[in-house]
Chain A
Amino acid sequence: MNFSKRTYWLFLFPTLLALLLVLIIPFGQGIYYSFTQYNGFEVSAFVGLDNYKNLFSDDQFVYSLWFTAGFSIASVIGINVIGLSLAMLVTQKLGRISTLFRTVYFMPNLIGGIILGFIWQFIFLKAFTGIADLTGLDIFRGWLSDTETGFWGLVILFVWQMSGYIMVIYVSFLNNVPKELMEAATIDGANIWQSFWKVKFPMIAPAFTISLFLTLSNAFKVYDQNMALTSGGPFGSTEMVTMNIYNTAFKVQEMGYAQAKAILFLIIITFISVLQLYITRKRETEL
């Protein structure tokens, strides 16, 4: 029995209205603003494609894009390698302690990027100096004071935060691998290495699609952690693209120009996500 037409729309109305007000209308407006000079209150001029043309000569913006890309690549690799390793670890038959492990590894995920950023600011600035004093290792000195340590600081923070999340996803797939299959592989003489790569790995391929998709898009959209850990410093050298957009919009008040950046950001994210889904889905079927 279907809904009557009236009830159908009544049930959908609140959610669709919110979608319209929050995403669809602002999205349309956003495209319009990106072709204008806009200060947040009124559009002072229609400038055509000028905002978009200026993007490519905006060194700081281009730099922030590359910085974000580098950060995303390093994070995606780190998170997936560590997340999968943790998942393999907690799915061994270790008894009740594996629940404790899971709880601990997942914990950073529950806490917001702002607070995690501050926690790691303390670790990098104070605790690392303490470690350097204790061990005499200079590698622990001067963290977050230059671009390189700022970059790796962000990567470490994000990997620490997200690995537990990705672990949970891998765990749910690993648990679905039938025991008989692994036993059969062992009986047929496969060693641990072979039974992982030849039997388990293809079974958890969909988990890679999900995890890569999630980590990649989350890494590209990182803002809170960046804000709290380095706030883009020193001298904007660890400024990610989201922070660049925010600053252009709300600090410099060039909202039209910021909106052009935001639209390009959307195009890049969509392109990467679609490409990545396409490639991994294709590989999944090949396995």
Chain B
Amino acid sequence: MKNKIRIHKYSMILIGLIVSLIWIYPFYLVIVNSFKTKADIFNSTLGLPQIPTLENYPTAFMELDFIQSFMNSFLVTGGSILIIVMFTSMAGYALSRNPSKTSSGIYFLFAICMLIPFQSIMIPLVSLFGAVDMLNRTGIAIMYLGLGSSMAVFLYVGAMKGIPRALDEAAIIDGCNRLQVYWYIILPMLKPTTVTVIVLNAIWFWNDYLLPSIVINKEGMYTIPLKTFYFFGEYSTQWHLALAALVLAIIPIIILYVILQKYIINGISDGAVK
């Protein structure tokens, strides 16, 4: 019996390892080939580099305007997350503490809006924001607040159920106003949900292509996905440069993932399940 269990365990581990190898093989190939010369990739894609070279990287780095694109992505993602966390947690707080027909109505409105796919509103959205000269970063942050609000509000309203009302009441009796209660008591207690909201939205905003591609029209404001896309269009026959660019685009994400993987995986599962 014990042997049988052990065999079962090791065969499972073996299967897991094989699947893992298949899963990371595409990344492996991209990374290995990014250290090859153009001719080397052409001659042998699967093998190791004949003479490993680093020279693809400086060119890719410059052509991607890596530092600028990175900062653009960082500003868009960071700014949008900041306002989405602030405003939707406030909204969730207000909704959950005032059970009324109005609150249910608003909650229902958020639910309905969740069903609208981006493609159905993107044309008028661009016209509307274009008309008031808001096709810029601030505009993008407002768009993300609108598009991401339903999910975030649901998560915050759900989390508010676990925070006793007596807590706000005690604070108000002690002389706090609502904003102080929110800032000093509620927001810190919502921290686990905030982590979930940040994780879900960070993955979305950082990687998003379609929305920035129709909103951003100045090359200096391109985010990493946009820049990679245009770069790839120009250099698609030059795999050595294109692959180095892909590796550069992936590295920040992988580093963050390795550091924060516990939060990320928990955040994802909470976001989907709750």
What A residues does B179 contact at CB under 8 A? Answer: 7
Residue A270 at the chain B interface, CB threshold 8 Å: yes
Cβ contact within 8 Å between B98 and A3: yes
Classify the secondary structure of A's interface with B.
helix
- Residues of chain B lying within 8 A (CB to CB) of residue A208: none
**Cβ 8 A contact of A259, one of B26, B45, B124:** B124
Chain A contact-residue range equals 35 or more
**Distance to closest chain B CB from A103 (angstroms):** 6
Query: CB within 8 Å of A: which of B61-102?
Result: 83, 86-88, 90-91, 93-95, 97-98
Tell me if B's interface is mostly helix, strand, loop or mixed: helix
Q: Is B127 an interface residue (CB 8 A)?
A: yes
- Is B13's CB within 8 Å of the partner chain A? yes
- Once A26-B125, A104-B24 are accepted as A-B contacts, the answer to whether A112 and B225 lie under 8 Å apart by CB is yes
B160 at the interface (CB under 8 A from A): no
Q: Hey, which chain A residues are within 8 Å of B169, CB to CB? A: 1
In the complex the two chains form, is B119's CB within 8 Å of A245's CB? yes
- Residues of B within 8 Å of A245, CB to CB, are 119
Q: In the assembly, what is the distance between CA of A123 and CA of B243, in Å?
A: 11
A24 to B269, CA, bound (A): 29
B172 within 8 A of A: yes
Decide: A19 near B242, CB < 8 A? Known: A8-B94, A127-B29, A263-B120.
no
Shortest A8–chain B CB gap in Å is 5
CB pair A15–B87 under 8 Å, yes or no, is: yes
Contact (A214, B272) CB under 8 Å given A14-B90, A118-B232, A123-B26 = yes
* Across the A-B interface, the 4 shortest Cβ-Cβ residue pairs: A22-B146, A112-B207, A11-B94, A29-B124
13 interchain pairs, CB-CB under 8 A: A19-B109, A21-B128, A22-B121, A22-B142, A22-B146, A97-B13, A105-B23, A109-B268, A115-B225, A127-B46, A224-B207, A255-B123, A269-B115
